[in-house]
């Protein structure tokens, strides 16, 4: 019978129970571009996104302009900035495309901005397969369509929810040449791609590779299924 070896706790930091308001331990920043029913484009930072195959799941406030647009038009471009675009992302941090600004957001310092691209000094370019524009400066543009809406907090349906988890099918991928693998035409070189990371409301970039990964021995094409 195997036994569990107890760690030498004298050499480890002790855990403490806390109740943090947010759990952003370090996630990629995205700029979500959407359009409303009248065709006006909105651009908003988001750091609640995760990936599985060619599906992205985005957490969003249902009553935000981005949330309203996703509910009504069901299309989005997930633009991924690198650390070089951090200033543009920060210019959008306390802006909202909803008018009037909610009392809660106003108290936190948010202000209404109609032209988000102009506010961030970013440039829009047409997407190929969806209506919202891509961001020229972002090294990665992921055209996507909504395939599922899941209520996370408050309300019985997406229209009345507080928070939503939005499933997005990635239908086209655009990348800057500067981050492509020199040996595989369909791949990103992780040594060249430097995503912008947010950790507890602060911006960070990646350091060097910590160590080689056993997982990297699997050819990326295996994941196409």
Per-residue pLDDT tens over the stretch 54-107: 999 999 999 999 999 999 999 999 999 999 999 999 999 899 999 999 998 888
The arithmetic mean of pLDDT across residues 114-143, rounded, is 98
33: β partners: 43, 77
Cα-based angle 207, 210, 211 (whole degrees, multiple of 5): 150
Q: What is the pTM of this model?
A: 0.90
Which region, left, alpha or beta, applies to residue 44 given φ > 0 means left and ψ of -120 to 50 means alpha? Answer: beta
Res 209: pLDDT: 65
Quote the CATH superfamily of domain 36-205.
Electron Transport, Fmn-binding Protein; Chain A (2.30.110.10)
For the stretch 145-187, pLDDT in tens is 999 999 987 777 888 888 999 999 999 999 999 999 999 999 9
The token pair that represents 189 in the structure block: 């070189």
In the structure, what pLDDT confidence band is assigned to residue 215 with cuts at 50, 70 and 90? low
Res 120: pLDDT: 96
């Amino acid at each position: 019978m195997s036994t569990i070896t107890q760690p030498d706790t004298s050499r480890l930091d002790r855990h403490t129970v806390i109740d943090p308001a947010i759990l952003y331990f370090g996630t990629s920043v995205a700029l979500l571009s959407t359009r409303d029913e009248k065709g006006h484009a909105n651009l908003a930072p988001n750091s609640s996104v995760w990936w599985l195959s060619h599906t992205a799941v985005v957490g969003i406030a249902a009553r935000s302009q981005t949330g309203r647009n996703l509910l009504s038009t069901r299309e989005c471009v997930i633009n991924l900035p690198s650390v070089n675009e951090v200033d543009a992302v920060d210019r959008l941090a306390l802006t909202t495309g909803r008018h009037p600004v909610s009392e809660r957001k106003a108290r936190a310092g948010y202000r209404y901005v109609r032209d988000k691209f102009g506010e961030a000094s970013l440039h829009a370019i047409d997407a190929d397969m969806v209506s919202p524009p891509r961001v020229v400066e972002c090294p990665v543009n992921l055209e996507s369509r909504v395939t599922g809406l899941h209520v996370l907090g408050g309300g019985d349906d997406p229209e009345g929810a507080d928070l939503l988890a939005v499933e997005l099918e990635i239908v086209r991928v655009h990348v800057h040449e500067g981050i492509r693998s020199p040996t595989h035409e369909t791949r990103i070189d992780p040594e060249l791609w430097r995503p912008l990371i947010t950790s507890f409301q602060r911006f960070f970039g990646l350091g060097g590779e910590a160590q080689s990964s056993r997982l990297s021995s699997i050819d990326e094409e295996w994941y196409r299924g």
